[in-house]
Structure 1
C-alpha cells in the first residue's frame, strides 16, 4: 500500500512562523508518515530541520520540489543539480517534482515539446542517481494540441519524466480520473489526494442578481466559482475506487492536499481528511 503523507503547502504559514522541525512534529501527530516539500526556500537550515525531523519523528521526506532554472519553486536543476542530489541522499528522498510547466509552454504543441526536451536530460541524470523526477499536473495539462494532450506530449518527448497525478485537477480538467490512471499506468508515482465539491450559491449573490445589482456576466462569474477544493471525503470524488486504481497505476505515495481551506484551520482540514482515509482502509 502506498505511504500516506501530506503536501506541506497546507502548513506553509506554520513553517514560516514555527519552523519546519515543529511542523514535522505536528504532521506525525496527525498520523501521517511522509511529507512533500513545496513552496519554501530550500536553505541549508531548512534541510537541516528536515533531517532532524526525519530522525526524531520518523517522518519520511518523500518528495521535494525542483525547477529547471531559478527563480522558482524548489531546487533549480541547471545551477543546483548536485546540491539537489546531495539533499535527496541525505534525507532519503527518492522523488523530486516539478509543480507546473511555465505558462509559455502551454501555448502550443511546439512550446510544450521544447519544454519537455529541456526536462528530459535532467530527469535522465537524476534517474542515474536513483532519483525519479515527476511532473505535477493541473487541469491545463488536458489541453489538446493536434489530437494530443499535454500529458501525452510530455510522456512522448520526456520519457524519463514520470507523473505526480493531482486527481482533483484531472477531474476539473474534464477527464475521468480512473481513465487517466489507466491510460498512464506505470508512470503515476505520486498522487495528490484532494476532493472536489460544489459549494452552495451564496444567497447574497442571488439577491443582488435578482435585484438587478449584478448583470448576467457578473453573476455567471460567481456561478462558475462554486467549484471548490475539499477535504477528502467531503466532495464528489470516488476515493474507494480511485485509490486502489492509483496504486495499480504505480503510486508509491498519497499526499493529502487542499489548495484553499476557505477560512478553516488547515490542521482541522487535514485531520478530517485523515480520518476519512482511515475509514476506508488507508
Structure 2
C-alpha cells in the first residue's frame, strides 16, 4: 500500500513561524507518515530538520519541489542540481516534483514541446542518481493541441519525467480520474488526494439578481465559481474506487492536500481528511 503523507503547502505559514521540525511533530501526531515539501525556502536548516524528523519522529520526506530555472519553487536544477541530489540523499527522498510548467508553455503545442524537451535531460540525470522527477498537473494539462493533451505531449517528449497526479485537478479538467489513472499506468508515482465539492449558491446573490441589483452576467460569474477544494471525504470524489486504482497505476505515496481551507484551521482540515481515509482503510 502506498505511504500516506501530507503536502506541506498547507502548513507553509506554520513552517515559516515555528520551523520545519515542530511542524513534522504535529504531522506525526496526526498519524501521517510522510511529507512533501513545497512553497517554502529550501534552507540548510530546513533540510537538517527533515533529516532530524525522519530520524527522531519517523516522518519520511516523500518529495521536495524543483524547477528548472532559478526563481521557481524549490531547488533550481540549472544551478542547484548537486544540492538537490544531496538533499534527496540526506533526507531519503526518492522524488522531486515540478509543481507547474511555465504559463507560456501552455499556450501552444510547440511551446509545450519546447518546455518538455528542456526538462528531459534533468529528469534523465536525476534518474541516474536514483531520484525520480515528477510533473504535477493542473486542469490546464487537459488542454488539447491537435488532439493531443498536454499530458501526452509531456510523456512523449520527456519520457524520463513521470507524474504527480492531482486527482482534483484532473476532475476539474474534465477527464474522469479513473480513466486518467488507467491511461497513464506506470507513470503515476505520487498522488495528491484532494477532494472537490460545489459550494451552496449564495442566497444573497439570488436575491440581488431577482431584485435587479445584479445583472445576469455578474450572477453567472458567481454561479460558475462554486467549485471548491474540500477535505477528503467531504466532496464528490469516489475515493474507495480511486485509491485502489491509483495504487494499481503505480502510486508510491498518497499525499493529502487542500489548496484553500476557506478560513478553517488547516490542521483541523488535515485531521478530518486523515480520519476519513482511516475510515476507508488507509
Given the two structures, how large is their TM-score scaled by the length of structure 2? 0.99
CA deviation vs aligned residue, 1:155-200 (integer Å, no higher than 9, x gap): 0000000000000000000000000000000000000001000010
1:81 aligns with 2:81: yes
State the 1:203 CA deviation: 1.1
Between Structure 1 and Structure 2, how many residues are aligned? 282
In the TM superposition, residue 205 of structure 1 has moved relative to its aligned partner by: 1.3
Counterparts of 1:37-52 in structure 2, within 5 Å, are 37-52=37-52
Superposed structure 1 runs of 4+ greater than 2 Å apart: none
Q: What residue is the counterpart of 1:208 in the other structure?
A: 208
Alignment of 1:222-261 (within 5 A): 222-261=222-261
Report the secondary structure of 1:31's partner residue. Answer: coil
Aligned counterparts of 2:218 and 2:18: Cα–Cα separation in 1: 41
1:90 aligns with 2:90: yes
Shift in Å, 1:54: 1.6
Q: What residue in structure 1 maps to residue 7 of structure 2? A: 7
1:53 aligns with 2:50: no
- Give distance in 2, aligned partners of 1:88 and 1:163: 18
* CA deviation vs aligned residue, 1:82-137 (integer Å, no higher than 9, x gap): 00000000000000000000000000000000000000000000000000000000
- Please say if 1:160 is aligned against 2:160: yes
Question: What is aligned with 1:142?
Answer: 142
Q: How far off is 1:42 after superposition?
A: 0.5
The alignment partner of 1:233 has SS state of coil
| Counterpart residue number, 1:101 | 101
Alignment correspondent of 2:117: 117
| CA distance in 1 between partners of 2:278 and 2:93 (Å) | 25
The correspondence of residues 167-182 of structure 1 with structure 2, limited to 5 A, is 167-182=167-182
1:40 Cα deviation from its structure 2 partner: 0.4
Q: How far apart are residue 139 of structure 1 and its match? A: 0.1
| In structure 1, distance between residues paired with 2:211 and 2:270 | 40
- CA positional deviation for 1:232: 0.4
| Of 209-218 and 61-70, the range deviating more from structure 2 | 209-218
Distance 2:68 2:22 in 1: 30
How far apart are 1:212 and its partner, in Å? 1.3
Question: What displacement does 1:48 show?
Answer: 1.1
Distance in 1, Cα, partners of 2:131 & 2:121: 13
Deviations 1:45-74 (A, max 9, x none): 111111111211100011000000010101
1:123 match: secondary structure: helix
Q: Which residue of 2 aligns with 1:64?
A: 64
Separation in 2, partners of 1:210, 1:48: 59
Distance 1:194 1:147 in 2: 28
Structure 2: give runs of 5+ residues left out of the alignment: none
Aligned counterparts of 2:81 and 2:209: Cα–Cα separation in 1: 54
What is the alpha-carbon root mean square deviation over aligned residues?
0.5
Supply the distance in 2 between the matched residues of 1:253 and 1:58 (Cα, whole angstroms): 15
Tell me the TM-score normalised to structure 1 length: 0.99
Q: SS at 1:62's partner residue?
A: strand
